[in-house]
Amino acid sequence: MSLAYRIDPADGVVTITGDYGDAAGWRVLLNAVAQDPDYHRGFNFIRDLRDSAHPVSAATVVGIIAVVRQFWDALGATRAAIVTRPGIDYPAVIAEALADEEHIALRAFTSYDDAVSWLRDG
């Protein structure tokens, strides 16, 4: 399942769905978000991985975070939450650690409601 997104302008949230993807797929997706007339600076992002089936390697996560870093300031993103299934999702844990190093406000959650609350608190 390819990466896809939907924008909720009223809540100021971009929800990204689909399988994990790679850096090239993320570049295409974030470029599309940047061009979307419904997107505005300051929106938050939710990466919903609950239906994803094919985790990626640590090297792929490094590449994805590099792309996110490239777009973060241009998009004026505020916060990003990754929602996973219960249990340890190693790519999500790696992404959170790398994002912290890049000063990107990104956290991983196993509860969608907790993720939304964290986004709203920002």
- Band of the pLDDT at 4, cuts 50, 70, 90? very high
pLDDT tens digits for range 90-104? 888 889 899 988 889
pLDDT of residue 63: 95
Could you tell me the CA-to-CA distances from 117 to 7, 85, 113 in Å, in that order? 18, 17, 6
Q: Which CATH architecture has domain 4-121?
A: 2-Layer Sandwich (3.30)
Q: What is the pLDDT of residues 28-48, one digit of tens each?
A: 999 999 999 999 999 999 999
